[in-house]
Amino acid sequence: MFDLKEFPTSLQKFYHDNNDLRPHLEPQPNKDSQWIYQQSDIPWLKLNIDTPHEEMYREAKSWIDEMVPQNYKELFDNPVLDGEFPNQKGWNTICVHGIGPKHFDRGYMYGYGHEDEVPYIWTEVADQCPITKEYLQSLPYEKLYRARFTMLAPGGYAAPHIGRKKAASHSRKINVALNHPKGFHFHLEGQGPIPWEPGRAHLIAADDFYHAVFNQSDEVRIHLITMGKPDFKRLEPLIQESYYSDDPFGYKNWEA
Ligand SMILES: [Fe+2]
């Protein structure tokens, strides 16, 4: 286990400021999934999706050596220095579906316009990860944009950052925990910790809130992050079930 003091002070502060918070939701009556997705201000929703997370974790793990540092150019308040301290460490990724396996950023960063115009394809990672590919095809997207494994090494972190609003027309992401080592933390500013469990899927508005992750455990953490044009017909029951439940954020029976 890594001591909290081993992480940058910005992360320690973010953790202390947000760890005891919990999001608040007063559900608006009679809203459909499109309204909830596009107009509500929910920070995230727990989605009840069955996930073959152990198999997908195995598939993802075989790509760890190929993953590249997430050197987003505009994401942090300070420029990223070759993907290492102070903004991030051990926070690497590879695309299963994308322009290519290592094109992890949004399409416009590679000169494309709207996400619908980007020539997203199944990469060679997908060819080697059949269970993940099948799972991705089952998700409620009319069109899948990017889907990528993202790892956080033991002792790794990404300092507080926020997405770019100008590209956020489809900014909500389905983010799936392929494992959840104790000591992995993911907080949203002003909201609280996201209650992950292995295999848990959340619909997250990560681009609307500063957020940060760090891994105090001795185990590599891997998530599957997906973005696409939503298929509201298929999303409808999932969103309705969660938004109008007594546990929309997934804290019930959760151990931090
Ligand atoms: Fe992020």
Quickly count: other Cβ atoms within 10 Å of residue 132's Cβ.
25
Gap between the Cα atoms of 112 and 173, Å rounded? 20
For residue 170, pLDDT beyond 60: no
Tell me how far apart the alpha carbons of residues 161 and 77 are, in angstroms, rounded to a whole number.
7
In 3D space, the residue among 193, 154, 165 whose CA is nearest the CA of residue 14 turns out to be 193
137 CA from centroid of ligand 1 (Å):
23
Instruction: Average the pLDDT over 30-50 and give the result.
Output: 94
Output the pLDDT for position 109. 85
**What does pLDDT average to over the chain?**
91
Distance 228 CA to ligand 1 centre (A): 16
CA of 30 to the centre of ligand 1 (A): 31
pLDDT tier, 108 (very low <50, low <70, confident <90, very high otherwise): confident
Residue 72 Cα to ligand 1 middle (Å): 10
Q: How far is the CA of 163 from the centre of ligand 1 (A)?
A: 7
Question: For residue 201, how far is its CA from the centre of ligand 1 (angstroms)?
Answer: 16
pLDDT value of position 214: 97
CA of 69 to the centre of ligand 1 (A): 13
CATH number assigned to the domain covering 4-24+31-243 = 2.60.120.330
158: CB partners within 8 A, 6+ apart: 70, 87, 88, 91, 152, 212, 213, 214
CA–centroid distance, 205 to ligand 1, in Å, is 10
**pTM of this structure:** 0.94
Residue 153 CB coordination number (10 Å): 16
pLDDT for 82:
47
* Tens-place pLDDT, residues 187-226: 999 999 999 999 999 999 987 888 999 999 999 999 999 9
Q: What is the pLDDT of residues 58-101, one digit of tens each?
A: 999 999 999 999 877 666 655 554 455 578 899 999 999 999 99
Contact of 145 with 115, CB cutoff 8 Å: yes
- How far apart, in whole angstroms, are the C-alpha atoms of residue 24 and residue 202? 16
